[in-house]
Structure 1
Amino acid sequence: MPADGPRPLGEVLKEVIDELGVQEEVDEARVVETWASLAGEKINSVTESAWMKGSTLYVKITSAAWRQELHMNRRKWRDRLNGALEAELVDEIVFR
């Protein structure tokens, strides 16, 4: 049954995402994009790549010093990331 009038775009997009079964891919893209935004210029300059596998975010860092610093603070980064996403999408962050 068609809707009687205009509907919010967010509602329509959610339906389409659900019908296509791509919510996981959308969430993964949001996590990687949000990570880059939170990390800032300095960390992004030493980041080779970032990707999700399950609920773990992997970030490949080219600097050993930065990798160590980020690793020591990975729980804080996870909490900041989930806070920015307003969802518990990341259980762990692994810096390589």
Structure 2
Amino acid sequence: MPSSNDPQPLGAVLADLVDRYGYRERFDAARAVEAWPVVAGPSIAGVTEQVWMRHGALHVKVRSAAWRHQLQFQRAAWRERMNDHLGREVVDEVQFR
């Protein structure tokens, strides 16, 4: 294990600070919200109005009841796609509203 005086990669130092000061959840939430349009693609992202994270749940506001109903059936797949894109378990569930 390197001593504290050894040079460390900047990414490792920043990751340590994020974890140490408790910002990991906020950063993960911001990454998930920003990832939604990429993961959803232009067709699905085009029928959504808002996306936000709260307590591990990704909330997606959908413009029409028909789209919301259709997307609701695929919640587990959306959660898996989001976490695959983010590289770790960030989204516990996806809720379409």
Q: Which runs of 5+ in 1 are unaligned?
A: none
Measured in 1, the distance between the counterparts of 2:57 and 2:68 equals: 16
Q: Report the Cα offset of residue 2 of structure 1.
A: 5.6
Percent identity among equivalent residues? 46
What pairs up with 1:74-85 in 2 under 5 angstroms? Answer: 74-85=75-86
Q: 3-state DSSP class of the match of 1:49?
A: strand
- Please give the secondary structure, in 1, of the residue aligned with 2:5: coil
Alignment size in residue pairs: 95
Q: Which runs of 4+ in 1 moved over 6 A?
A: none
In structure 2, C-alpha distance between the alignment counterparts of 1:82 and 1:16, rounded to whole Å: 23
- 1:46 match: 47
Alpha-carbon displacement from aligned partner over 1:40-94 (angstroms, at most 9, x marks no partner)? 1111211111111111110001122221111111111111111111211112111
Note if 1:55 corresponds to 2:73.
no
Q: Which amino acid is the alignment partner of residue 3 of structure 1? A: N
Is contact 2:71-2:96 (8 Å) kept?
yes
TM-score, scaled to structure 1: 0.86
The alignment's C-alpha RMSD in Å is 1.6
SS of the aligned residue for 2:69 comes to helix
1:1-96 aligned at under 5 Å gives the runs: 3-5=5-7, 7-96=8-97
